[in-house]
Amino acid sequence: MHIHILGICGTFMGGLAALAREAGHKVTGCDAGVYPPMSDQLRALGIDLVEGFDADQIALQADMYVVGNVVSRARLADGTPKYPLMEAILDAGAPYTSGPQWLSEHILQGRHVLAVAGTHGKTTTTSMLAWILEHAGLQPGFLVGGVPLNFGVSARLGPKYFVIEADEYDTAFFDKRSKFVHYRPRTAVLNNLEFDHADIFDSLASIEKQFHHLVRTVPASGHVVYNAIEESIQRVLHMGCWSGQNGFGGVTGDVSAQGDPGNFSVLLRGNKVGEIQWSLSGEHNQMNALAAIAAAQHVGISAGNACAALESFQNVKRRMEVSGTAGGVTVYDDFAHHPTAIRLTLDGLRKQLDAKSSTRDARILAAFEPRSNTMKLGTMKQQLPWSLEAADLAFCHTAGLDWDAGQALAPMGSRAQLAGSVDTLVAQISAQARAGDHIVCMSNGGFGGVHAKLLSALAQEATV
């Protein structure tokens, strides 16, 4: 089958392209901004890429056009379609489908799917779970919204088991259900749940309803692994659950933790079954680990063996990944963009630094851009001071915002600074950074190459 993917350079669609190619299909694709590293990865797989969404791509006569949710029926100011290729597909009556639907029908069918849902930690938990299965010799397939360092790729096929990051964002312009409804898991993880995606959801209750749609798809012989301390997850389960259940976290979870997030014991119904000592920080990663351990039990992996696997887990690119050190200052790259994720990331680093006498007085400088659709709308702007409490200084990139970031960050006083460009942001940070500082750059995008620019500026400051 020849499939042509619209929006191929997105993380999900790029992973789907790699899976389709591995499965033996001919794959081509298009996107606006076909650039490295995704373009290089796809071309290395023998996938031809086209820049833009021009209508003449209909001449490829693909057997199926797979449409990413970046595509819409929007029109430009002059009235012309923003995505002419989609209009040509519709006019020609050519076959098209969504990425999740194609994945369900051609990759997931016949496999034991383990789906990881949650507002935060999906990528990390999915990677943990895939690594546990790999460590146990089960050779899982997976599709992750990032690059797990243990594997070096974001997607691959597997003979029986498939671990997938289950996103609650909508499927396509013609299918407004959450992506995860298509995955039909036998093992479903409900890691956490709070309000996000204000561009498509109007309330937490509407997201909870989508999560319950996922629960409805799990068979009676399947298993739902859930966060035992999150009220929103409890509300989802109270709507009805027809499968086995296994809670994690807190005092009521079947799988729980005892100890510091960097070195803790894992308990199964109160009895110690393993221990994890690793470099990851934060209670959120401890909870991610418990979720992965609980899910792995459903495919026959003991909690003790899962703990042993996680001690060699190397995390995911852009999850507190050290970009480099210059002038005695360490620069990190992190994907956090929701206020809760920002707070968890910074709190985790603060506790990690405080645990060592040599870094107890180290400062944390937070650089962030409110880039997600939710943050651009300003829906959660009042939560920013709370999310940045662990930072000694905070630097906000304000380009493209329609709301007053200065007003939102006013409670932080002189601890917060604003910058209209990345270059200004770099100048502000490098002027105030000193040896021993830790700079955390947080964005769900490329952030204008801020990491490399900071390291260069810091190195220059050190030579002055």
- Of 11-20, 71-80, 137-146, 310-319, the poorest mean pLDDT is in 310-319
- Ranges 212-221, 391-400, 412-421, most confident: 212-221
User: Is pLDDT above 90 for 194?
Assistant: no
For 350, the token pair is 């603060």
Residue with tokens 């709507």, as numbered in its chain: 239
pLDDT tens column, 70-92: 999 999 999 999 999 999 999 99
DSSP alpha helix (H) spans, 239-338? 283-297, 303-310
Superfamily of domain 321-463 in the CATH hierarchy: Mur ligase, C-terminal domain (3.90.190.20)
Residue 35 has a pLDDT of: 64
pLDDT for res 461:
74
Q: What is the distance between the alpha carbons of residues 313 and 294, in angstroms, rounded to a whole number?
A: 16
Beta strand 155-156 pairing with 141-143? antiparallel
Could you give the angle at which helices 122-135 and 303-310 cross, rounded to 10 degrees?
A: 110
- The CB density around residue 337, as the number of other CB atoms within 10 Å, is 20
Tokens 């739902």, located at residue: 224
Residue 33: the pLDDT is 78
Q: With cut-offs at 50, 70 and 90, classify the pLDDT of residue 163.
A: very high
Q: Identify whether 37 is preceded by a cis peptide bond (ω within 30 of 0).
A: yes
pLDDT in tens, 338-395: 888 888 889 889 988 888 888 888 999 999 998 777 777 777 888 899 889 999 999 9
Q: What is the pTM of this model?
A: 0.84
- If you write DSSP's letter for every residue of 214-234 in order, what string do you get? HHHTS-TTSEEEEETT-HHHH
Residue type at position 286: Q
* CA nearest neighbour of 168 among 188, 141, 150: 188
Give the lowest-confidence range in 160-164, 227-231, 317-321, 358-362: 317-321
Q: Using only C-alpha atoms, what is the Rg of the chain?
A: 22
Mean pLDDT, the chain, integer: 92
pLDDT at 338: 82
The pLDDT tens digits for 423-440 are 999 999 999 999 999 999
Q: Where are the domains of the chain?
A: 2-97, 110-310, 321-463
Helices 283-297 & 122-135, crossing angle to 10 degrees? 50
User: Is residue 158 very low, low, confident or very high in pLDDT (cuts 50, 70, 90)?
Assistant: very high
Q: What is the CATH number of domain 2-97?
A: 3.40.50.720
- At 173 the pLDDT is 96
Percent of the chain that is helix, strand, coil (3-state, to 5): 35, 25, 40
What the block records as the tokens of 232 is 């929103």
From the DSSP assignment, how many helices (H) and strands (E) are in the chain? 15, 23
Measure the N-to-C terminal CA separation of the chain; round to a whole number of Å. Answer: 60
Task: Look up the CATH number of domain 110-310.
Answer: 3.40.1190.10
